[in-house]
A and B are shown apart, each in its own frame.
Chain A
Amino acid sequence: MKSEPKVRASLPDGLTADTLREMYYRMVLTRMCDDRAFALNRQGKIPFAATCQGHEGVQVGAAYALKRGTDWLVPYYRDTALALSYGVTPREQLMCLFARKADIFSSGRQFPNHYSVPDRNIASISSIIAAHVTHGVGMALAFRMRKQPIVTLITFGEGSTSEGEWHEALNFASIHKVPAVFLCENNEFAISVPQKLQMAITNVADRAAGYGMPGVICDGTDPVATYTVVRAAVERARAGEGPTLIEAKCYRAMSHTSDDNQATYRTPQEIEALKSRDPIPRFEGWLKDRGLIDDETIAQLKKKAQAEVDEATDWAEQQPPPTEEDLYTHVYASGALS
């Protein structure tokens, strides 16, 4: 590796060489978790899987722009890399895929990737598109009312911005200058619907003007670029200057979920062309150019990630599913009524 001082001078503000390698590791780890999820689904071991392939850059970049242990995440179902970078472990991820009783998100009650981890500042989400965006605003308002210097990061796809609830959330947030950051992971598709049938504008970020907040675009396949803009927005929010809408342009490498088949609405050429945008080799190149990583380290990190995912899979598979008595708990604080 090159001499550290020279390197440090060229690093983005707030990121050390170690942090950058850690970010790379999170991206690789997520990719392996995702591949494992789809493999398990094909083997009939889990009913459902959703991946974030193509989104690893934006998610890891955004996670590292937050203050861990202070700021809150209000994610959506495609945020595996965000979750794995914000304290969720591969074991926990695999437990939700297998829907085990000890799954910490929902005890096997919800679809996979529907996070809920209060001890790591991750909110609970449903499958209802854009509902969580309103919650994120309310949380941010609550933090401000209690004079706590906490910022909420709320994520969603570009399709989600069509929902009325999304609009209501941003409008409310901006009027009250709540400490929130809205991050759109624009992968150009909502299941099969391309962006041009979702909105008559090219940039989701342009919607920000209508709410009176800044709208910023970044390359969502680049974790460092995303880190930089999210960090600025987080600082702005923490300083009481109000919310920001960020649009991270990325792509969706695979079908929407294991239940979808993207070959019905995307050509093989289109799907093939996406590979050139893969955030992982691109970040590898970026790190190598700066002497922050070499092939040996890359190989080591990949091996380590694979071992972690293998261990997590084997462990989670052995854990028991919920039993019938678990059906009736937590309907109300007092349990079930009937």
Chain B
Amino acid sequence: MATVQATKQTQLTMVQALQSALVEEMERDEDVVILGEDIGPRGGVFLITEGLIDKFGADRVIDTPLAEAGIIGAAVGMAMYGLKPIAEIQFIDFIFPGFDLLVSEAAKIRYRSAGQFGVPMVIRSPYGGGVRGGSYHSQSPESYFVATPGLKVVVPSNPYDAKGLLIASVRDPDPVVFMEPKKIYRAIKSDVPAGTYEVPLGKAALTREGKHVSIITYGAMVHVALEAADAMAKEGVEVEVLDLRTLQPYDTDAIMHTIAKTGHVVLLQEAPRIGGYTGEIAAFIAENGVEYLEGPIVRVAGWDTAFPYALEKAYMPNAQRVIRGIKKTLNF
């Protein structure tokens, strides 16, 4: 699966890594087309598609009308009839005018046609807070998508994974919601091979090894987990960090492995707590691994409010909140 065709490594941001995935897939396969608002000459509002219209032309890099239902619905049609569309939704907060096309159509077409039609499409979209985006440029709505069988949901946390996961998503036969943590688009660099490689969907990454407590998280929150782990190391607590990378399907083996090892678990998400994705992981652990637990399953999450503008810092989970969570399960 994870075939690395080239060895040359370059330090790239997530923006650059995502762009290289798009370019390589479009060069490899003429059926790959991209569409979305402002993705042409503007290069998308975060510049992921900068220059692509010059490289591939306006037939394969489509600046669409301002209409998310149209974008997602058209992508579904293109996908059913042989193309591999990658639709960009400018901010994931704007996906809801097209929600129906995603959850009623893209997600269910394979099932309802008894496998006669498939929808190999990707919806890329920036999500999450930390850029002073206010109520409608900051949300983390992954739980809506995860709750819809038929959709896969992928959330990278670093440039290397972003490229490999996007390539794997484009090649996947089913619709993938690919959520990009905009806070770290340019904040970190990592080694990214120049050639094509896949990071397989459904496989978590053990980002940091430790033996006392596991933090299970994804996306931008991986970095908050690592910060908390650094701080706890000074107190002699060794924190393991599991980056899920794919939320649906998720890596049950990796979860069982880490809880069997540490016996303590903190689940970390940016989205509001109630109905949030980590509730699923908590239920999975409670059903399958309760014998390993030596303390309560603790969730650290966004508050159960809409996303605020001025109070963004107070809203988003930070290392202090994670440390409090770690202590809660360890000192049980």
Interface residues of A (CB under 8 A from B): 47-48, 99-101, 106, 108-111, 114, 126-130, 159-160, 162-165, 190-193, 197-199, 259-260, 264-265, 321-322, 324, 326-328, 331, 336-338
Contact = CB atoms under 8 A, between A and B. Distances in A.
A338 B273 contact: yes
B66 A198 contact: yes
A128 B96 contact: yes
Contact of A129 (B43, B66, B273): B66
Interface in B259-294: 273-274
Given A110-B135, A164-B67, A331 B38 contact: no
Q: Which 8 A-B pairs have the closest CB atoms?
A: A108-B310, A192-B42, A127-B136, A162-B65, A47-B132, A99-B310, A111-B134, A159-B66
A129 B94 contact: yes
A265 B136 contact: no
B136 A324 contact: no
B57 interface: no
B174 interface: no
Contacts of B311: 108-109, 322, 324, 326-327
B145 interface: no
Contacts of B65: 159, 162, 193, 197-199
A337 B66 contact: no
A327 B305 contact: yes
A279 to B, nearest CB: 25
Contacts of A128: 93-94, 96-97, 136
A127 B137 contact: yes
Interface string B59-74: 0000111111110000
What interface size band does chain B fall in?
35 or more
Interface string B116-158: 0000000000000000111111000000000000000000000
Given A126-B136, A336-B304, 9 more contacts: A114-B134, A128-B136, A129-B66, A190-B37, A193-B65, A198-B65, A265-B41, A338-B303, A338-B304
B250 interface: no
Nearest to A98: B310
Contacts of A326: 311
B309 A191 contact: no
A202 to B, nearest CB: 15
A199 to B, nearest CB: 7
Interface of B: 37-38, 40-43, 45, 63-70, 93-94, 96-97, 132-137, 273-274, 303-306, 308-311, 314-315
Contact of B43 (A47, A159, A264): A264
29 contacts: A99-B309, A109-B306, A110-B135, A111-B133, A111-B134, A111-B135, A111-B136, A126-B135, A126-B136, A127-B134, A127-B135, A160-B66, A162-B67, A162-B70, A163-B66, A164-B70, A193-B38, A197-B40, A197-B65, A198-B66, A259-B45, A260-B45, A265-B42, A322-B310, A327-B314, A328-B303, A331-B306, A337-B274, A337-B304
A190 B97 contact: no
Contacts of B70: 162, 164
A272 to B, nearest CB: 19
Contacts of A259: 45
B63 A193 contact: yes
Contact of B309 (A111, A129, A165): A111
Contacts of B135: 109-111, 126-127
Given A163-B66, A197-B63, A191 B45 contact: yes
Contact of A163 (B97, B132, B273, B315): B97
A13 B178 CA distance: 56
A192 B38 contact: yes
Given A190-B66, A338-B274, A165 B310 contact: no
Contacts of B309: 99, 106, 108-111
B274 to A, nearest CB: 7
B37 A193 contact: yes
B46 to A, nearest CB: 10
A189 to B, nearest CB: 10
Contacts of B308: 108-109, 322, 327
B69 A162 contact: no
B310 A193 contact: no
A324 B305 CA distance: 12
A163 B41 CA distance: 22
A43 to B, nearest CB: 15
A162 B38 CA distance: 14
A264 B40 CA distance: 10
A48 B138 CA distance: 14
